């Protein structure tokens, strides 16, 4: 006898399993009785259209994957951010009222999951729970009510945000931070047993906000977050966090072309150089070398570059600050190249930058950093008179900057062009490159 085919086949069970939920958890999150979910999964009853949307948004799959014409466990499509936004906008009014913030938070985190893929669901899933958010809000008026579990929840959320910011989900981080950082900052200012822990988490939150503001080239806001991060690092009695905040503050000074302000911040951090991690020491010395090069302090700049190389750890990924301070071997060579360029040593600078090579990278490097390297290689090649190499590097930098929509890198390429044009204004191949900037 042939097995009986369920009258309403669907992929609900497979979607729940792939999303890392249990039936009980789905019931708790949606308010749908657990027995009803089992009946739907068994195909005994059809899943109503409205509930399909709710389930699809929670599980990170499409409505079509949830109830395909021929249900299959083999192919479950991840929901896209646009689909999730569409669900939120089309949800009934009662779903958008009362717990509106919880709904928005869930939408944002689901968007992060959908972009990152199913494998990223499990680490983020507990962060959807509304209880820790509620308990933190209560603790801002009664600090003694906070407990380590709540703080650990937001420490994990910070960690997830760092991973997203290091990837391609900075927009998601930007939306999440205002949902918890203000309350966390209030908690970090209030005396309690766990104030240092709360302050450490708040400091990281402001460092994340610095990253967001810097990518938007809002350097005043970035500077404000650096100062907040340092203050909370001091409350936490965490020299690593305090030093990272000062380094970021110095970097803002470099972006704003205020080298003496940058040097002041770096020198302030150097006061406790022996109290910070090896990776942080290497980064601080590299930044010092760069700004000292800008100020034509050649002897001390070369010493700082040497100290950066000496302190760079064999396994930077295991360093205490590796989560919130991304710094690799490529960073060492880039800072060295920048310093040598300002010291008017273009041949040495190009040798250092070729250890990375923006055209054909020899080591892992982000796209924005790769374009930065290309711009510096263009300047080094142009300064020493290799105009063909200058053209290759500059064209690659401009093309890539336009592709990723980076106004900062595009503006830097224009600056490199102008500096080389001043040296070789009569050369046709230099003048012709001006057409790169007419778009």
Which pLDDT belongs to residue 219?
Answer: 92
Alpha helices in 60-169 (DSSP H): 63-66, 81-90, 93-96, 100-116, 121-124, 130-139, 148-166
Q: State the pLDDT at residue 137.
A: 82
List, in order, residues 6 or more apart from 289 with CB less than 8 Å away.
301, 302, 304, 305, 308, 335, 336, 339
> What CA–CA distance (Å, rounded) separates 79 from 246?
40
Give the C-alpha separation, 430 to 34, whole Å.
71
- Nearby residues of 224 by Cβ (< 8 Å), 6 or more positions away: none
| pLDDT beneath 50, residues of the chain | 1-3, 70-99, 113-122
Task: Decide: 232 and 202 in contact? Cβ < 8 Å.
Answer: yes
What is the C-alpha to C-alpha distance for residues 251 and 212, in angstroms, rounded to an integer?
14
Alpha helices in 295-345 (DSSP H): 298-311, 329-342
Q: Which residues pair with 61 in a beta bridge?
A: 78
CA-to-CA distance for 197 and 260, rounded, in angstroms?
33
- φ, ψ of residue 48 to 5 degrees: the values are -60, 150
DSSP letter, residue 78: B
Rounded distance between C-alpha atoms, residue 11 and residue 401, angstroms: 43
Statement: the pTM of the whole predicted model exceeds 0.85: no
CA distances from 204 to 32, 35, 415 (A): 38, 43, 33
Q: Is 392 exposed, middle or buried (0-12, 13-18, 19+ CB in 10 A)?
A: middle
Phi (first) and psi of residue 304, to 5 degrees: -65, -40
Burial of 39 (0-12, 13-18, 19+ CB in 10 A): middle
Residue 300: alpha-carbon gap to chain centroid: 33
Q: How far is CA 67 from the centre of its chain?
A: 35
Phi first, then psi: what are they for 61, rounded to 5°? -130, 170
Sequence-distant (≥ 6) Cβ neighbours of residue 207 within 8 angstroms? 225, 226, 229, 241, 244, 245, 248, 324
3-class SS of residue 304: helix
Task: Give pLDDT, residue 388.
Answer: 94
**How much is the pLDDT for 261?**
96
Which residue has 């700004």 as its token pair? 291
CA-CA-CA-CA torsion for 314, 210, 128, 83, nearest 10 degrees?
A: -110
> What pLDDT sits at residue 267?
97
Paired with 78 in beta bridges are: 61
By CB atoms closer than 10 A (0-12, 13-18, 19+), residue 35 is: exposed
> Residue 90 and residue 92: Cα distance in Å, rounded?
6
- For residues 101-137, one letter each, b for 16 or more C-beta atoms within 10 angstroms of the residue's C-beta and e for the rest, the string is eebebbbbbbbbbbbbebebbeebbebbeeebbeebe
Q: What is the pLDDT of residue 47?
A: 87
CA atoms within 13 A on the CB side of 48: 5
For residues 298 and 343, give the distance between their C-alpha atoms in angstroms, rounded to a whole number: 7
């Amino acid at each position: 006898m042939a097995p009986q085919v369920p009258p309403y086949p669907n992929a609900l069970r497979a979607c729940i399993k792939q999303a890392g939920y249990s039936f009980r958890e789905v019931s708790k999150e949606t308010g749908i009785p657990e027995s009803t979910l089992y009946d739907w999964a068994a195909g005994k009853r059809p899943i109503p259209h409205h509930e399909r949307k709710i389930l699809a948004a929670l599980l990170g799959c499409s409505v079509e994957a949830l109830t395909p014409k021929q249900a299959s466990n083999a192919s479950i499509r991840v929901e896209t951010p646009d689909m999730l936004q569409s669900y939120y906008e089309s949800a009934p009014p009662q779903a958008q009222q009362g717990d509106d913030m919880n709904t928005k938070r869930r939408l944002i985190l689901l968007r992060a999951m959908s972009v990152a893929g199913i494998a990223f669901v499990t680490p983020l899933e507990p962060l959807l729970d509304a209880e820790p958010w509620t308990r933190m809000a209560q603790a801002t008026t009664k600090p003694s009510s906070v407990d380590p579990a709540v703080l650990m929840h937001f420490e994990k959320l910070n960690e997830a945000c760092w991973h997203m910011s290091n990837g391609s989900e900075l927009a998601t981080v930007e939306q999440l931070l205002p949902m918890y950082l203000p309350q966390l900052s209030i908690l970090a200012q209030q005396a309690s047993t766990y104030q240092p822990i709360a302050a450490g988490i708040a400091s990281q939150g402001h460092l994340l906000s610095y990253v967001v503001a810097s990518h938007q080239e809002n350097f005043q806001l970035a500077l404000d977050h650096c100062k907040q991060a340092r203050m909370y690092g001091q409350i936490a009695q965490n020299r690593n966090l305090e030093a990272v905040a000062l380094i970021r503050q110095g970097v803002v000074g470099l972006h704003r072309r205020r080298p003496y302000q940058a040097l002041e911040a770096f020198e302030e951090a150097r006061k406790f150089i022996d109290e910070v991690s090896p990776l942080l020491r290497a980064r601080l010395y590299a930044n010092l070398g760069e700004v000292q090069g800008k100020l034509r302090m050649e002897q001390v700049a070369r010493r700082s570059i040497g100290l950066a190389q000496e302190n760079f750890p064999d396994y930077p990924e295991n360093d205490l600050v590796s989560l919130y301070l991304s710094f690799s071997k490529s960073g060492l060579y880039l800072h060295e190249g920048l310093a040598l360029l300002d010291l008017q040593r273009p041949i040495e600078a190009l040798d250092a930058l070729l250890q990375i090579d923006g055209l054909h990278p020899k080591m892992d490097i982000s796209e924005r950093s790769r374009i930065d390297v290309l711009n510096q290689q263009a300047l080094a090649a142009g300064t020493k008179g290799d105009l063909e190499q200058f053209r290759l590097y500059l064209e690659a930098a401009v093309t890539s900057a336009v592709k990723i929509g980076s106004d900062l890198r595009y503006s830097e390429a224009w600056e490199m062009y102008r500096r080389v044009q001043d040296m070789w204004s009569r050369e046709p191949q230099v003048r012709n490159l001006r057409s790169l900037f007419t778009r």
